[in-house]
Chain A
Amino acid sequence: MSEPRTDAKICGMGHSMKRKEDPRFIRGQGKYIDDFVLPGMLYMDIVRSPHAHAKIKKIDTSKALKIPGVLAVIDGPTLAKYNLHWMPTLSSDTQMVLPIDEVMYQAQEVCAVIATERYIAADGVDAVEVEYEPLPVMVDPFKSLAPGAPILRKDKKDKKDNLAFHWEAGDKADTDRALAASDVVVSENVYLPRIHVASMETCGCIADFDTAQGKLTVYMTTQAPHAVRTVLALVAGHVGLSEEKIRIVSPDIGGGFGGKVPVYPGYVVAIAASVVIGKPVKWIEDRMENLQADSFARDYHMKVELGAKKDGTMTSLKIKTVADHGYTNASANPSKFPAGLFSICTGSYDLKHAFCEVDAAYTHKPPGGVAYRCSFRVTEAAHAIERATDALAQKLNMDPAELRMKNFIKPDQFPYKSVLGWEYDSGNYAGALKKAMDTIGYDALRREQAEKRKKGELMGIGICSFTEIVGAGPSKQFDILGIKMFDSAEIRVHPTGKAIARFGTKSQGQGHETTYAQIVAEELGIPAAHVQVEEGDTDTAPYGLGTYASRSTPTSGAAAAMAARKIRDKARKLAAHLLEVNENDLEWEPGKFSVKGAPQKSKTIQECAFAAYTNHPQGMEAGLEAVHYYDPPNLTFPFGSYICVVDIDRGTGDVKVRRFVAVDDCGNIINPMIVDGQIHGGLTQGIGPALYEEISYDDEGNISGGSFLDYYVPTSLETPKWETDKTTTPSPHHPFGAKGVGESATVGAPPAIANAVVDALRHLGVTHLDIPITPEKVWIILKSKGVAE
């Protein structure tokens, strides 16, 4: 699909339609959580633990309660009366809402102050005095999993260790044999540290319990409103919250990236407070609370072994991972995939033998991790295979592009069944890499590098050819807490030919109000400008699992097309009725049915819509609408090749990205402008962890990276001018051949940058560097090799 099929007026797929959501945002008229003011609204602020592990000896709220305007302090024992002090996580583990007697991570919620004003709530928090008895802290996941380690989860009566779960995929014995038989094996320890989504808007909610009606409305920063509603009904059903009387409203969200999927303790406490007090309770977390207590991602320690023949043919891949989940597994993963889609780790290569296993450890850190723009651990998997691939190229003294070309799954191998069980729908890996190489001038860069090396100048070229796996997912395999991962679209066409379309997903900036309208426009020929898109209100939107893991286009987008086609089928009947012909005598072009052979006899979709209410045939139900719950037959597999050029300052170790070319393939594109925007943003959230961002803990569990003072989010000056391009390899199973794309760049960028830096230092014998690649890390190498300035 190269040229759009529809004209600019209808504005279907392929048009770079200007966004329908922009008019309110550019005027400052977006409605984000903190913009809502409800009558009688109270404010909640949270007292948090300074210790990573401690007994709570005493909570003294007397001073706080004396402050005029402080109404209550809610603690664990209060919630325990309603059995709400613990709650399930999205991974079927359990998490404290508020502790009874023990805190398990620094910044854990200890109790909550409810006050009449925001400033008074802050004073209240300051005035609460908590006496702690610090306890020994476990921050090392390896030590945590070692035999004899003290048990962290004493709340789990039968637990004898700190293993949250063990998961594996592939044939271990077969892979071990293949590795042993390989001519060459590279082995690297690859660590992806904790990072944070750091969306510009933090998390928050307004819980509003209407005592008279027994109805709870929660305005909430959530990417999955329906799932939240159902979970609340299941968890708090015993205190009288019934699903038909729970309404979750997800308004404009200032960035989600996965961080707004989990149900955080703050939401539950605010809900409890509102239920008890009978007034709306607003809770908006500070940035430091956000960075320190929620939304963290990654923290995977991976040992990667890649085997190959001496001619470079990859034979076998083995990855052993220790995953640091904090004190509870609160990660948002499909239930059968506690390590997410990590088994995509064979990547773009035709590997015949592979095995991966993940051991998840409990530690005294915040729970998690969220799927931060990674489609469930794909960032980790891609980083592992792409780093190993470069290490292999280095060992074989082969050009990394050549090694990749040699091992790519070939176009005629699709649909491709990977040895770890995924069926890749379509791909053209060599095509994407070639395009990237041509655009950046790869051969000339290699020549330049050789010249520079002679003069002692450090320049590196890094490639990442990733395969993503998005659009969870088929009901056979995918559910979260038992709820299947279909998604939905409900479209209703009005008499005057305009339409409203509602979805089970929730945009946090991805432009659904525009792209979904374009899908409907494509299918029905109703101008996208006339299609009103709504998401996020569980009272009106059809059930869905929300937006994360690049799933919206693959699931709800598909549902939109399917629902639209149902509508088109009915419109055909209406047109036939109006034109007094047989349905089969009609031809369709976007927006119009015409009689075959007599094109002047036609009816527009608008005329059909009007007829649905004013002149429908006898025996036909009036109206023109459809709902579709789409169960994807498979995931979709976007892919790309990124090439990064870096120059290294030999005096400071500072890394400058000179150029970055990203070639992405997400199949058929709805709105090219929006896709480019997604790539730009993803690349920037890729250079962040590659060079700048990290959350770490000292031995006492004290956080580093807990505020924007030391959590280094890239500004416009750290961010290069991204160069983007595309290839188009449609998905054969998706209704309009599209794949998701929102996360490709966060997956592909870090390995490209890491590979570039290692490439710059290759000749010094460096085979691997963990991200973030700080200037000091590079300088230490330069110094040890005697080439520092």
Chain B
Amino acid sequence: MIPAAFDYHQPGTLAEALKLLKEHGNEAKVLSGGMSLLPMLKLRLASFEHLVDINRVPGLDYIKEKGGNLCIGAMTRQATLERSDVIKSKFPILADAVPLIADPLVRNRGTIGGNVANGDPGNDQPAIMIALGATYVAQGSKERTVAANQFYKGLYDTALARNEILTEIRIPMPPARSGGAYTKLKRKTGDFAVAAAAVQVTLGKNGAIESARIALTNAGLTPVEAVDAGKYLSGKMPDDKTLMEAAKMAAAKSSPSADVRGSVEYKKEMARVLTARALKSAVQRAGAN
């Protein structure tokens, strides 16, 4: 449980941090909450010559509404999200998920930036960001944005370049009559999902589904967006049969691997069950809005 030796840097500004990443290239890794990186280093499953700790870079920890988006700084701790009123009231999908991430002690350090940028399919927030249609702001030699559903390429492989730091997550404020939900089945507190479903829907004035996005956690090497299922729901009334069908379609996109949490068949079936439950909850919340 002792990491191999590395050099440690504590830049005081974003520019300094980016300079260090540029200088050390593949040998450098950003350290944010540390709740994923440090355990890996301790088990010597990964090693880097240089750790660039961005915890002292100011101005990356915020939750604010701006330009029709909820803008969350990448260094915002999970515990801060858990206590946020705007998230509780406007983003139930995120309010559902945060208390289910790891445990309260981990959430005091873990950041949303780390959770979305890690590239681990077991992390919860990527699927949620996809369901919310979020974009990520990355700072490198220049600033650019990447849509969440374009961000994940493979296992620990994202669109973030080596010399870039994720600085902000931008989530469009949901229109009226929107609701979301995140359902997660896990073997115990602190474990990654057996299966989990993130759903965000908006209902039209007549009660039909105007838009729906479904994404699954731990259902493949990257978060899985059930695009077909979302399209299928568009324009339809959210009765039980329709929601069940959508859940089935979403689960069909799930390709989990077997492990101690379950067999492939079970995980796929749970993706269906959980998507159905998340859809029901999201629709109910949308209707109440």
Q: Which residues of A contact B (CB under 8 A)?
A: 118-119, 122-123, 126, 286-287, 651-652, 654, 692, 704-705, 709-710, 712, 714-715, 717-718, 774-776, 779-780, 783, 788-789
Residues of chain A lying within 8 A (CB to CB) of residue B276: 651
Q: Residue of A at shortest CB range from B5?
A: A123
Cross-interface CB contact of B273 among A122, A776, A789, cutoff 8 Å: A789
With A710-B260, A714-B188, A779-B266 given, is the CB distance from A651 to B1 under 8 Å? no
A709 to B39, CA, bound (A): 11
B84 at the interface (CB under 8 A from A): no
**Which of B2, B5, B103 counts the most chain A CB atoms within 10 A?**
B2
Residues of chain A lying within 8 A (CB to CB) of residue B88: none
Instruction: Please state if B260 and A704 are interface contacts (CB–CB under 8 Å).
Output: yes
Instruction: Please state if B187 and A712 are interface contacts (CB–CB under 8 Å).
Output: yes
A710 to B194, CA, bound (A): 12
A775 to B191, CA, bound (A): 15
Instruction: Please state if A712 and B191 are interface contacts (CB–CB under 8 Å).
Output: yes
Residues of chain A lying within 8 A (CB to CB) of residue B259: 710
Interchain nearest-CB distance for B281 vs A (Å):
13
B185 at the interface (CB under 8 A from A): yes
Interchain nearest-CB distance for A502 vs B (Å):
36
Instruction: Please state if B270 and A652 are interface contacts (CB–CB under 8 Å).
Output: yes
Instruction: Please state if A715 and B103 are interface contacts (CB–CB under 8 Å).
Output: yes
User: What are 24 A-to-B residue pairs whose CB atoms are below 8 Å?
Assistant: A118-B2, A119-B2, A122-B1, A122-B2, A123-B2, A123-B4, A123-B5, A651-B273, A651-B277, A652-B185, A652-B273, A652-B274, A654-B185, A692-B188, A712-B187, A712-B191, A715-B103, A715-B190, A717-B188, A717-B189, A774-B262, A775-B185, A779-B269, A783-B269
Q: Which residues of B contact A (CB under 8 A)?
A: 1-2, 4-5, 44, 103, 185, 187-191, 194, 259-260, 262-263, 266, 269-270, 273-274, 276-277
A714 to B263, CA, bound (A): 22
Residues of chain A lying within 8 A (CB to CB) of residue B274: 652
Instruction: Please state if B266 and A715 are interface contacts (CB–CB under 8 Å).
Output: no
Instruction: Please state if B189 and A718 are interface contacts (CB–CB under 8 Å).
Output: yes
Q: Residue of B at shortest CB range from A712?
A: B188
Q: Residue of B at shortest CB range from A710?
A: B260
Instruction: Please state if B262 and A776 are interface contacts (CB–CB under 8 Å).
Output: yes
Residues of chain A lying within 8 A (CB to CB) of residue B103: 715
Residues of chain B lying within 8 A (CB to CB) of residue A788: 269
Instruction: Please state if B189 and A692 are interface contacts (CB–CB under 8 Å).
Output: no
A651 to B262, CA, bound (A): 15
Residues of chain B lying within 8 A (CB to CB) of residue A710: 259-260
Instruction: Please state if A692 and B2 are interface contacts (CB–CB under 8 Å).
Output: no
A448 to B122, CA, bound (A): 39
Residues of chain B lying within 8 A (CB to CB) of residue A654: 185
Number of A-B contacts (CB under 8 A): 52
Instruction: Please state if B1 and A286 are interface contacts (CB–CB under 8 Å).
Output: yes
A133 to B188, CA, bound (A): 38
Interchain nearest-CB distance for A289 vs B (Å):
10
Instruction: Please state if A715 and B188 are interface contacts (CB–CB under 8 Å).
Output: yes
Please provide the 3 A-B residue pairs with the shortest distance between their CB atoms, ordered closest to farther: A122-B2, A651-B273, A710-B260
A656 to B158, CA, bound (A): 38
Residues of chain A lying within 8 A (CB to CB) of residue B262: 774, 776
Interchain nearest-CB distance for A788 vs B (Å):
8
Interchain nearest-CB distance for B273 vs A (Å):
4
Residues of chain B lying within 8 A (CB to CB) of residue A776: 262-263, 266
Instruction: Please state if B273 and A705 are interface contacts (CB–CB under 8 Å).
Output: no
A511 to B1, CA, bound (A): 31
Residues of chain A lying within 8 A (CB to CB) of residue B4: 123, 126
Interchain nearest-CB distance for B228 vs A (Å):
22
Give 7 new A-B contacts, CB below 8 A, not counting A123-B5, A652-B273, A780-B266.
Answer: A122-B1, A651-B273, A705-B260, A714-B188, A715-B189, A774-B262, A776-B266
With A126-B4, A651-B277, A705-B260 given, is the CB distance from A692 to B187 under 8 Å? yes
Interchain nearest-CB distance for B240 vs A (Å):
12
Q: Residue of B at shortest CB range from A118?
A: B2
Residues of chain B lying within 8 A (CB to CB) of residue A286: 1
Residues of chain B lying within 8 A (CB to CB) of residue A717: 188-189
A126 to B191, CA, bound (A): 28
A707 to B262, CA, bound (A): 17
Interchain nearest-CB distance for B209 vs A (Å):
22
Residues of chain A lying within 8 A (CB to CB) of residue B2: 118-119, 122-123
A788 to B266, CA, bound (A): 12
Q: Residue of A at shortest CB range from B1?
A: A286
Residues of chain B lying within 8 A (CB to CB) of residue A287: 1
Instruction: Please state if A718 and B188 are interface contacts (CB–CB under 8 Å).
Output: yes
A39 to B270, CA, bound (A): 57
Residues of chain A lying within 8 A (CB to CB) of residue B260: 704-705, 710
Q: Residue of A at shortest CB range from B272?
A: A651
Residues of chain B lying within 8 A (CB to CB) of residue A123: 2, 4-5
Instruction: Please state if A126 and B44 are interface contacts (CB–CB under 8 Å).
Output: yes
Residues of chain B lying within 8 A (CB to CB) of residue A122: 1-2
A775 to B186, CA, bound (A): 10
A774 to B274, CA, bound (A): 17
Q: Residue of B at shortest CB range from A286?
A: B1
Q: Residue of A at shortest CB range from B44?
A: A126
Residues of chain A lying within 8 A (CB to CB) of residue B191: 709, 712
Residues of chain A lying within 8 A (CB to CB) of residue B187: 692, 712, 774-775
**Which of B1, B187, B194 counts the most chain A CB atoms within 10 A?**
B187
